[in-house]
Amino acid sequence: MGTASGRETARRLGVAVGALLAVTVVGTLGYVVLGFGPLEALYQTVTTVATVGFREVHPLGPVGQFFTVLLIIVGVGTVLYNLGVLLEAVTEGHLRQHLERRRMDRDIAHLRDHVIVCGYGRVGRSATRQLLDTGHRVVVVDVDPERLEGLVELHVLGDASSDETLREAGVEHARALICALDTDADTVYTTLSARSLRPDLVIISRARTEESKDKLVLAGATRAVNPQLIGGRRMASFALHADVAEFLDEVMHEDDLDFRIEQVRLGDHSPLVGRSVGEVDVPGLSGCQLLAVRHARKGPFIPTPPPETALSPGTTLIVFGNPEQVDALRSAAAR
C-alpha cells in the first residue's frame, strides 16, 4: 500500500494524461467534421495544442477559426497542467516513491516461504534483524510511516489486522508471521485475521502480559511469547548455567558458528517415513546428530529417542549439524 501523497500524485497524473487525450480526440473529431481527413485532423490538432505555429492544413472559415481558438485555450491549459503535475511529482519525489512502491509490490507478490513481521517497534526490529541475518526473506508491516521511513527491506504501510494488508504482504505464500504490535488488542485482531486467511500458517504473537498468552493461543497463535518473561528466564539461566546458556545462545543465534540446532519436518513421501530411528541412522544419513523427535505439532518432545522410535509423516526432527548436513537431511525429509 503506497503513501497517501504518492497515490494522490499518481491520481493527478492520470487525470492530466486523460485530459490531454480527451482534448486530442475532441480536436481531431472537430476537424474531421470541418472537412479534414483523419490524419490531417490529428496533425492539425497536435500542432494547434502544441502552439508550434505551423500553417493550417486547409483554410479555415469563421467556424473553424472559432473552434481553433477554443482548442488553443483548452489545449494549452491542459498541456501546462500536465507539465506542472509532472514537475511537481519529480521535484517532490512522489513519482519516484510511487514507482518504488509498485516495484516493491511486485517483489512481494513473487515471494514464497517468507516471514511477515507485523509491528516494527523494538521487538519487531530485533526479529527482523535475526531473520535477515539467517538468510530469510522478510516483509515488514506497520501502520506508522515514520517507522518504515528509510527501510530498504520489503514493507507494507497499513493496518496489520486488515485482510487486505496481510494479502499485500503475501500471507497466502508466507512461511510464518510474527505479530509484535503495540497492544494486545491489536495483536489479537491481527492473529485472528491471519489465522482466518491461512489455517496452516505458523503465527508467533507477542504477549505483553502473562494473562494475554492464553487469549492469543485461543485467537489462533501457534505460540504466544512474552519477551520480558523470556528475557528474565535467560538472565537467570546465564546466572545459574552460564556455559549451557551461552552454548545454546551461540548455536541458535551466532552467524559465524558453523553448527546450528535446526528442525526438520518429514514429508508424506519421505523415504524416512515408516522406518525407525535405529533404521534411519541419522548421523550416517546426513552427518547430523539427532537430539529429539516430536510426532505432533503440539505433542511432547522425545529427547535422545530410542532406536525403536518410529517416524511418521509430520514428525519433526531436532538435529544438530552444519548447514550442509542439515540441508541434506531436509532434502531427504521433504520428498
Would you state the pLDDT for residue 2? Answer: 47
Report pLDDT digits (tens) over 112-134.
Answer: 999 999 999 999 999 999 898 88
Q: Is 88 helix (H, G, I), strand (E, B) or coil?
A: helix
225 vs 46: which has the higher pLDDT: 225
Second-level CATH architecture of 4-97:
Orthogonal Bundle (1.10)
Would you state the pLDDT for residue 1? Answer: 45
pTM of the model: 0.62
Range 258-333 has CATH code 3.20.20.80: no
- The three-point CA angle 266-223-153 to 5° equals 85
For residues 209-221, b (16+ Cβ closer than 10 Å) or e, as one string?
A: eeebbebbbebbb
**Mean pLDDT for the chain overall:** 83
Which residues have a Cβ under 8 Å from the Cβ of 110 and sit 6 or more positions away?
A: none
284 vs 230: which has the higher pLDDT: 230
pLDDT grade, residue 257 (50/70/90)? Answer: low
Would you state the pLDDT for residue 160? Answer: 93
- The three-point CA angle 207-208-211 to 5° equals 70
d(CA 31, CA 29): 6
- Lowest average pLDDT, out of 182-186, 243-247, 290-294, 315-319, goes to 243-247
Nearest 5°: phi and psi at 312? -130, 165
Would you state the pLDDT for residue 74? Answer: 83
Considering 74-78, 213-217, 321-325, the range whose residues carry the highest mean pLDDT is 213-217
Give me the helix-helix angle, 184-197 and 211-219, nearest 10°: 20
d(CA 191, CA 161): 8
Cell reading at 57: 492544413
The residue assigned the cell 552427518 is 287
Position 286, amino acid: S
Where does 21-160 show beta strands of DSSP type E? 115-118, 138-142, 155-157
Considering 9-13, 49-53, 227-231, the range whose residues carry the highest mean pLDDT is 227-231
- Lowest average pLDDT, out of 48-52, 189-193, 223-227, goes to 48-52
Which regions of the chain carry the CATH code 3.40.50.720?
Answer: 112-225
Instruction: Name the fold adopted by 112-225.
Output: Rossmann fold (3.40.50)
Which regions of the chain carry the CATH code 1.10.287.70?
Answer: 4-97
Mean pLDDT value across residues 228-232: 84
Going by C-alpha positions, the residue among 110, 203, 112 that lies closest to residue 160 is: 203
Mean pLDDT value across residues 142-167: 89
Which regions of the chain carry the CATH code 3.30.70.1450?
Answer: 258-333
